[in-house]
Amino acid sequence: MTADGPTVFPEFDESFRAGFASFVGRPNAGKSTLTNALVGEKVAITSSKPQTTRHTIRGIVNRPADEERTGAQLVLVDTPGLHRPRTLLGQRLNDLVIDTLSEVDVVGFCLPADEKIGPGDRFIASQLTKVPHKRVVALVTKTDKIPRRQLAEQLIAVDQLGREHLAGEKKQAEGFEAIIPVSAVNGEQVDTVADELARMMPLSPPLYPEGELTDEPEAVMVAELIREAALEDVRDELPHSIAVTVEELMPRQGRDEDRPLIDVHATIHVERDSQKAIIIGRGGSRLKQIGSQAREGIKRLLGTPVYLDLHVKVTKEWQRDAKKLGRLGF
């Protein structure tokens, strides 16, 4: 899928900077909200074909040059969360994250301002040391939730975390390259985050044209939307236990041109019968709800009404079974 209209690369000169950034942080740290705030309305959901990364691109920030700053393009790359691995899948995900992080130019470590630094944060910090020579900035999120004095304390704690974990590397003996407090909700400092990330990008022409949307793996995004809908409200009962595969994603044949419809056939994989029952719900009520929520999201993503056919299947112990993992695309 490409956007309507011509392909337009942002204007650039020799001082233009462009590159990849990735946000990490424990669940709920505010990564998605910050991504959306940075990218603004123009969320270019795209999946990367080229360049250095094979991972999903969440959004592209195109910042034109003005009198004070050079132009830049930030490509925000999505990574799954870093978790203490308990299963083979967990381990693979972590390896994948480390891979991704070694390919991006800058890592933004999101730490909520209103929560004490915990073991989860320290685990992530320790993982970041596995990605040597990496520029890491700390983004202290949700600053609107706390008074200023408390923010100062948190900034000091974050600084200390950086010094403890990111010391040793010659380049990072000072800890984080920068610590930026930000609120994605009231917009405070969002521009500063963009400026700071842009400043750290290598000199490069823009990597993507403006307005480009997905190239081919819409299926990945569609699967993700279905997974999100399925996890809504039951995240605690089904942590990591579900995967979604998309078997078919096709425009319906024989429709009028002005009334297109896309057929999506997808399967939600769970590990156990009990989980299947949760997903389906009484009399199929949850599955219906999942379907309509996912359908809305897919419609927005593709810009076309969709017919969504969803199945639920028990794929036993898929988290631990390497062969099955491969089949599910991990």
Q: Which residues are annotated as a binding site for GTP?
A: 25-32, 78-82, 141-144
> Of the candidates 78, 103, 144, 296, which one interacts with ligand GTP according to CB under 6 A?
144
Footprint on residues 165-224 left by ligand GTP (CB under 6 A): 183-185
Among 100, 153, 109, CA closest to 131: 100
Binding mask 233-272 for ligand GTP (x = CB under 6 A): ----------------------------------------
Instruction: Write out the two tokens for 284.
Output: 């199929």
> What minimum distance in Å lies between the beta carbon of 24 and ligand GTP?
9
Nearer to ligand GTP, 33 or 52 (CB): 33
Tokens of 26: 């424990």
Report the 10 Å Cβ neighbour count for 114. 14
Q: Are 249 and 264 in contact (CB under 8 A)?
A: yes
Binding footprint of ligand GTP, residue count (CB under 6 A): 16
Residue 96 CA: distances (Å) to CA of 19, 32, 56, 263:
19, 19, 12, 31
The correct pick among 7, 8, 15, 27 for binding ligand GTP (CB under 6 A) is 27
Residue 274 is a binding residue for ligand GTP (CB under 6 A): no
Annotated binding site: 25-32, 78-82, 141-144
Nearer residue to ligand GTP within complex by CB, 126 or 186 = 186
* Binding mask of the shown chain, residues 68 to 87, with x at each position contacting ligand GTP by CB under 6 A: -------------x------
Contacts with ligand GTP by CB under 6 A lie at 25, 27-33, 81, 141-142, 144-145, 183-185
